[in-house]
Structure 1
Amino acid sequence: MLGHLALSILTGLFVGVSSGLLGIGGGTILVPVFRLLFGMSAMEATGTSLFSIVPTSVSGAAAHVRHGTCIPRLGLAMGLGGALTSPLGVFLASKSPGWAIMLMAAVIISMSAYSMFKKALALPGGKPPDASDAAAPVVEEACEPAAVMGSTLAKGAAIGLVAGLASGYVGVGGGFVMMPMMIGLLGIPMALASGTSLIAVTILAIPGVIEQGLMGNVDILAGIFVSLGTVPGAYVGARLIKKIPERVLRLAFGGFLIVASVLLVANEFFA
């Protein structure tokens, strides 16, 4: 029991720091961990992952808001969009075989990893990301009151719709969808995209968690144990983001996504 608790907390710490740095809820790590190390079924792994994501994202998002490394209005728009579709994702997952859920997770994760590697290799080693760098005009426009009904927030809501569906289906926060799209389509620097994504993840994950809980797919004890590590870890990750070059962040993001996708496929088809 103590070993299980220690493993859960250590996993949570790693997930939390990654979450705070990379703007993800941590599901891309938690789903493989719950599936491979905890021996959960596909639906239990996705449901418990979503449950663990909520406190992780709240902790990371709060830290980003305090440090000004996010765009709250954009995060809210994406989160509300995602909240509409995450229950649909859970419903579709409940009608799918376990291998299909894990395979879809691996495909989506790999696509996000490719996007991150491509952008990282185009950047110099550079200085740590700065919220006031060249992309600031786009960010400032997104923060203007007049932009609440403008194209930036509308695109954000559309991104949220996609992220919510993916989140509910594969049990992740949706940051792996929102991060590349915010950076590539909206021109948001990663130093601001990470915190903005966590705000959205906090909102869009809740309906999916409720639906998974009603289906009996949430291991509450395991989720709580993991959260003992993710909550402080997410706070630490959010504080570190200003000190790490953007290229390093993107390479780290892509790296752990590739590992997660390979593990998922290996477990489902070769274990």
Structure 2
Amino acid sequence: MIVDVLMYLLLGAAMGTLGGLFGIGGGLVAIPALGVLFGLDQQLAQGTALLMVLPNVLLALWRYNQRNRVSVRHALMLIVPSFTMSWLTSLWAVRVDPQIMRLGFVGFLVVLTLFNLIQMVWRNGTVGAELRHIRWLWLLGLGSGVTAGLFGVGGGVIATPILTGLFGATQVAAQGLALALAAPSTTITLATYALHGHVDWLMGIPLAIGGLASISWGVALAHSLPERVLRSLFCGFLVICAIMLCSKL
């Protein structure tokens, strides 16, 4: 039992560092890791990952806001539609066949990876503190809410590349906004999964503690890396996650 707890703490620390680095709370790596390493079905892996992700997201948001102030106005335009869609789609997701969910998650990662690669090669426009096309932020909130409810990830994974590519935000500013977007949707999605028995609390709590202990390192590293390096690492990270999940199909 003690060995298991220590293993979960170390795994949570690794996931927390990655979550801070990429502004995703660690859930994207936790879900394939829990499915591949521990044999959890897709919904249980997502629910347990959400338990780890929520405190990580809150701490990472606080750290990002200290270094790069998050716009409350922009955050609210993302949060309100995202929260609503996360709740509605999570009610449906907990009833879907786990294998179908896993296949959908792999497809989601593939599309996301291609989008990021295309964006790196053909990105147009300049980046800065002021966002472009602000009136369309609510659409991004809707889309992020759908993926958060279905797959347990949304804010950092969906919002970050779109905020940089289409709205002209810097990578760091986008990751801060994405964390603000993720906090409420992660809360309601976790509550839905927990009510339907899709959370392993004995595993998730040590993962969360490990993540909290390490996520600040990832945030500090994110602010020290060049923009293109950070984006390249994020793309590579997505590819690895997709490969891990494909091995279980």
Give me the TM-score of the superposition, normalised by structure 1.
0.84
Shift of 1:245: 0.8
Shift of 1:103: 1.2
Letter aligned with residue 162 of structure 2 = M
Shift of 1:141: 5.6
Report what 2:60 is aligned to.
60
Aligned equivalents of 2:202, 2:86: Cα separation in 1: 23
**Paired residues for 1:232-247 under 5 Å:** 232-247=213-228
Report what 2:155 is aligned to.
174
- Gaps in structure 2 of 5+ consecutive residues: none
**Paired residues for 1:1-271 under 5 Å:** 1-68=1-68, 70-121=70-121, 135-136=127-128, 139-140=129-130, 152=134, 154-268=135-249
Report what 1:147 is aligned to.
none
Judge conservation of contact 2:20–2:219 (CA < 8 Å) in 1. yes
Aligned equivalents of 2:89, 2:172: Cα separation in 1: 29
Aligned equivalents of 1:27, 1:141: Cα separation in 2: 27
Aligned equivalents of 2:77, 2:158: Cα separation in 1: 15
Report what 1:126 is aligned to.
none
Letter aligned with residue 67 of structure 1 = R
3-state SS, counterpart of residue 37 of structure 1: helix
3-state SS, counterpart of residue 187 of structure 1: coil
Judge conservation of contact 1:81–1:164 (CA < 8 Å) in 2. yes
Aligned equivalents of 1:226, 1:194: Cα separation in 2: 22
Shift of 1:234: 1.9
Deviations 1:236-257 (A, max 9, x none): 2122222101111111111111
Aligned equivalents of 1:13, 1:35: Cα separation in 2: 18
Judge conservation of contact 1:27–1:53 (CA < 8 Å) in 2. yes
Q: Percent of aligned pairs with the same residue?
A: 26
Give me the TM-score of the superposition, normalised by structure 2.
0.91
- Gaps in structure 1 of 5+ consecutive residues: 124-133, 143-150
Shift of 1:122: 6.0
Shift of 1:4: 1.9
- Deviation larger for 56-65 or 96-105: 96-105
- Deviation larger for 195-204 or 109-118: 109-118
- Superposition RMSD in Å: 1.9
